[in-house]
Amino acid sequence: MKILIARLNHETNTFSPVPTPIEAFSPTYGEEAYRANKGMRTAMAAFIELAEGMGATLVTPVSAMANPSGPVHAAAYDELTRRIADAAPGCDAILLDLHGAMVAEHTCDGEGDLLARVRAAAPGVPVGVALDLHGNVTGKMVQNADVMVGFKTYPHIDMYETGEHAGRLLLQMLRGEARFRVCWHRLPLMSHTLRSTTLEGPMRDAVENARALEHSGIPAVSVFGGFSLADIEAPCMSVVATCRIEDAPATQAAVDGLARQIWERRAEYVYRSEPLADSLRRARSLAEGATKPVLLLDHGDNCMSGGTCDTMDVLQAALELGLTGIAVGPLCDPEAVGRLIAAGKGAEVEIDLGNKVPLTSIGLAKQPLRLRGTVRAVSDGGYTVTGPIYTGQRCHMGRTVCLDTGAAQIVVTEQTHEPWDLGVFHCVGLDPTRFRFLLLKSRMYCRPVFVPLSAGLVECDSPGATTSDYARFPFTRVRRPVFPLDAL
């Protein structure tokens, strides 16, 4: 028995100025791809364990994951997908760890086109797919997969479990125990990412209803929040179920019913931002008398949605309001890192920081913020994740510097990076629990680690490539009408 197992993950923000060449994926191939996932918390790791458990021969052509950014370079997409498609002939089953919201320079349906090529290369071979909760599911994806399962958590902590779920169903097909097909219902609803958390609100309820359908006998039911920062035909929510072929009519009716429930609450999937100044004043009130830091989440510039990690709006407004005791990080400015390292630890410097990547797709160009401070620490920017997301993974932010301006201590990095863990501060000798405010460029992934250590959380919407203000994005390809761009 020969099973193809591969990983190719990218969430594409078509408005992001951050490029996505093949180097952004840090791809591994063959045996190295196997080792990169074996024992980890990825869906591919679960596929590996299941396949090895049945004594199968594994074919692992590629494992590649890039942080969310602009459209994938055509050459990168072609090379990575070619390796998967070329490995398909002769395999008895195919298990793919994908994202579901990939856009390349020459295709708006990255996963759909890949799955169609895989299906053509190995006709009749069962194909199982694990997807991110923020996948933009398409008809081509559904038509070319036998099993499709999405994450049920955001922040995502069930990547492995999702892979195990999809893999377990596909192996049932392989053993002749069942024949599956995929049913789906896509809604004309562009949800906001901050309203797709499964910790509370309508998405939590929708996912619980999906679980209830699974408990009633449907093999897999997934609610996809979609990723709306993509100018494609339908960056929208959907409900997807994997069912036995003979149960397809009843399953489709259940999927349609869950989709109707989501649509009835569509207004709750829209995030309403408050003015930045109001957010910061609220944070200042929360900090009065607090013994723990207040979190300031700059979700308008979050690299895990395609942000540049270099906008300065929130820090600048906080300083103008007189806030002090701020730890900031990580802020990506490789030019500044070079200058600060050249100045040396202990040096007093005056430097232009951030706002160096033009946001031309949303009509913004900003001036760097001139700051004076002291270089407190220099590090290689490496740390190991201790929290529940990517536990045990070694992270690298590039060369990293701590700049102390008095009111703020800023972690400046060479690479964009999500604050997964306290390690983003520990690597330069900072204890984040000792500050009044923690300014993190994050939407959701920081929360499992940082919220328990905080006195409160304030979401700060700044004008960046991941802002929650849809009015800033020039959508031209989205099929209309769609809520909330249109009154429906």
Shared-domain flag, residues 131 and 262: yes
Question: Which pLDDT value is given to residue 336?
Answer: 98
Q: What is the pLDDT of residue 350?
A: 97
Answer yes or no: do 61 and 184 share one domain. Answer: yes
pLDDT at 316 over 90: yes
Residue 477 lies in a domain: no
Same domain? 153 vs 282: no
Inform me whether the pLDDT recorded for 312 exceeds 90. yes
Q: Which helix (H) or strand (E) holds 204?
A: helix 201-215
On whether both 200 and 308 belong to a single domain, the answer is no
Are residues 168 and 41 located together in one domain of the fold?
yes
With bands split at pLDDT 50, 70 and 90, how would you rate the model's confidence at 390?
confident
For the segment 135-160, the average pLDDT, to the nearest whole number, is: 96
Domain termination site, one of 233, 251, 269: 269
Task: Provide the percentage of residues in the chain whose pLDDT is more than 90.
Answer: 94
> What 3-state DSSP class applies to 447?
helix
Residue 108 corresponds to which amino acid?
C
Give the number of other Cβ atoms within 10 Å of residue 484's Cβ. 17
Mean per-residue pLDDT, 385-413? 91
Residue 141's pLDDT is what? 98
Residue 78 lies in a domain: yes
Q: Is the pLDDT of residue 436 over 80?
A: yes
Q: Is residue 295 part of a domain?
A: yes
Of 163, 261, 269, 264, nearest to 220 by C-alpha is 163
Q: What single string gives the DSSP state of each residue in 399-440?
A: SEEEEE-SSEEEEEESS-----STHHHHTTT--GGGSSEEEE
The helix or strand, by DSSP H or E, that contains position 213, with its residue range, turns out to be helix 201-215
Query: What is the rounded average pLDDT for all residues in the chain?
Result: 96
Average of per-residue pLDDT across 301-325 = 96
| 234 and 301 share one domain | no
Looking at the structure, tell me whether residues 295 and 202 fall in a common domain: no
| Residue 239 CB coordination number (10 Å) | 28
Residue 54 within a domain: yes
d(CA 470, CA 170): 39
The predicted structure's pLDDT at residue 352: 97
| 331 — pLDDT class (breaks 50, 70, 90) | very high
Please provide the DSSP assignment of 234-296 as one string.
----EEEEEEEGGGHHHHHHHHHHHHHHHHHTGGGG---PPPHHHHHHHHHHHHTT-SSPEEE
**Domain end among 218, 242, 269:** 269
Is residue 478 a part of any domain in this protein?
no
Residue 479 domain-assigned?
Answer: no
Tell me the mean pLDDT in the region 78-91. 98
233-271 pLDDT tens trace: 999 999 999 999 999 999 999 999 999 999 999 999 999
- Is the whole-model pTM more than 0.95? no
Look at residue 388 and tell me whether its pLDDT is greater than 80: no
Supply the pLDDT for residue 66.
96
Q: Give the CA distances from residue 378 to residues 245, 325, 410, 420, in Å, rounded to whole numbers and listed in that order.
A: 59, 20, 12, 20
At residue 308, the pLDDT reads: 95
Task: Say whether both 238 and 371 belong to one domain.
Answer: no
Q: In this structure, are residues 25 and 10 in contact, taking their beta carbons and an 8 Å threshold?
A: yes
- Domain range spanning residue 448? 276-467
Domain annotation covers residue 119: yes
Check whether residue 243 and residue 306 sit in a common domain.
Answer: no
- Number of domains making up the chain: 2
| Domain end call among 249, 269, 289 | 269
447 and 378 both lie in a single domain: yes
Same domain, 243 and 331: no
Question: Is 260 in the same domain as 357?
Answer: no
- Asked, for residue 403, whether it belongs to a domain, the answer is yes
The amino acid occupying position 5 is I
Cα–Cα dist 267/256, whole Å: 19
Residue 391's pLDDT is 77
pLDDT of residue 417: 93
Residue 63: which H helix or E strand, with range? strand 63-65
| Band of residue 387 on the pLDDT scale cut at 50, 70, 90 | confident
What pLDDT is recorded for position 472?
Answer: 93
Q: How far apart are CA 391 and CA 363, in angstroms?
A: 38
Using CB atoms within 10 Å of the CB of residue 62, give its burial: 0 to 12 exposed, 13 to 18 middle, 19+ buried. Answer: buried
